[in-house]
Structure 1
Amino acid sequence: MSATLHRIDAGPAPSLDPMLRLVAHDMNAVNSVILDRMQSDVPLIPELAGHLIAGGGKRMRPMLTLACARLLDYPGTRHHKLAAAVEFIHTATLLHDDVVDGSDLRRGRRTANIIWGNPASVLVGDFLFSRSFELMVEDGSLKVLRILSNASAVIAEGEVNQLTAQRQVETSEERYLEIIGAKTAALFAAACRIAAVVAERPEAEELALDAYGRNLGIAFQLVDDAIDYSSDEATMGKGVGDDFRDGKVTLPVILAHARGPAADKAFWRDAMMGHRISDADLRHATGLLNSTGAIEDTLERARHYGQRAIDALGGFGASAAKAALTEAVAFAVARAY
């Protein structure tokens, strides 16, 4: 184990506080843009959007845009609107995801689709997507527009790919990594990369920040997959075992199914088809995940991608921004412990 990887697993509990402090001033400006651009003459739009935007999320993706801009010593303000665009893309996908998943809780609060219904959630999600593209166009950079619009398309492809893989317990690990690389990591990557574009830095630095964000996003999702079976609602911001009851074939399930005897494989098939969703079934599933090492191996893969994210920053000089970005990786992984 390398010295850097060891920092992910040991020492004081990592936190997002260094990043929060680093970008606090810029984040105030981003929040102002968000509040301004979610307004509409149709009262339901700001009401519904505000419910989710004010719902206690960490706003990690726009913070990454701001922190990467600080890493590059960017002196301007273009990244404020673009970070808001990133948050709108993320919020729109959450609204749509909750409808697709039939979720009733997010970050401990009732989801918008439960309060206002599925049609309103989908349409307000569309509104936020449109606002994000307005902000990109206002920035005026075709390169930024290309990066963020491509990320939006890739996210949608990832969600459709996941939908077609739902309840398919034989899904391969390779396909699953492809799905989360699209639905989760693509926006992390784009959020980081656009900072290098506005700072007019060489393509090598763009690609380095893209790699940082992409690997961080994969690590982040893999930890989410693991803690769905091993954490609590306060930590996760959603119900414990939601993935299990929704028939979501995540990496822990893929690994446990592949490693188990015929009886266990039959259990996983029944569970993912929605026939074994009681609390007792969830406890049995968690036992199988632990006995096959599926949870720990999922977290080991998360640490691997976290290390790749940290390595991607290797070409940048030491700074408070680099330290904060490095600790953000450690925080993403440490959520599972």
Structure 2
Amino acid sequence: MTSVALGPTDQLDPRLLEHRRELTGYCYRMLGSSFDAEDAVQETMVRAWRSLDGFEGRSALRSWLYRIATNVCLDSLNGRNRRALPMDLAGDPYPPVPASLAGRRPPTAWIEPVLDRQVLPEDADPAEQAVARESIRLAFVAALQHLPPRQRAVLILREVLRWKADEVAGLLDTTVASVNSALQRARSTLADLDARPAPRSLDSDDRELLAKYLDAFERYDIEAFVQLLHEDATQHMPPFEMWLRGAADIGTWMRGPGSECANSRVLPVWANGSPAVAQYRPRAGGGHEPWGLHVLEIEDGKVAHISSFLDLDSGLFVKLGLPAAFD
């Protein structure tokens, strides 16, 4: 990544760069977009670099960077509509027919995925890793977007990053009482949305299920694929508004409108704290091109939900650092 103001980011002070990953995770939770988060962190680094000589060390460098990042995110969110997932917008599932693809929104309307390696700490203990993983789950990130920006910052800092109330008050230039009040309101909103994260471990059964998913999809064995899904499993496919409910309807879709995905190649990845699949669809003229990143929610040994983020003309794979082709 390159900054117009600074040149390559590897020319920045190493003290700034060592906080880049955790700041990206913070900005992602705030903004609901991995690409906006990268831009926000880049702007944070630019501002910090320009002011580093005047940084007097009255607070820890990490706290100072979070203050800058918070201000960048709050500025970015000013006047912006919240990002969502298709199931948040449509009350009823769509039928598995081509006409269901009629509704489509721009990329800025949707929550975007993030790869675990972009935002999760490498050296945290297992308990901290579990909390961090749950705090980037798609449902939780989507729920955060319902909160006013300052409440969102308070909840992330207090409950995800475990900052003390007085530390958050100092960062936001407010009082401890105001922080506690904002936290209570944020908690109430998330409770109404039933979106509080509950840490869970990724066990060998999840990895085995992912392997079966990869195998069934690559062979395009829809009968085997459907057997991996809960009976009431759901799937949505941003940028389209449509979503499906039921393993049977998902299977019908794959045999019908989705049949062009036959003979795809797939790669296992980890995104939004969950197993995920990068799919490359056959390209006219040969080879395979990026098509969709499928983030899987697994419950009780089966897939409960599939978030299929389609690349289309968004450049999703390149922006996430995934291979631009499958050779």
TM-score exceeds 0.5: no
TM-score by length of 1: 0.28
TM-score by length of 2: 0.29
Higher strand share: 2
Larger radius of gyration: 2
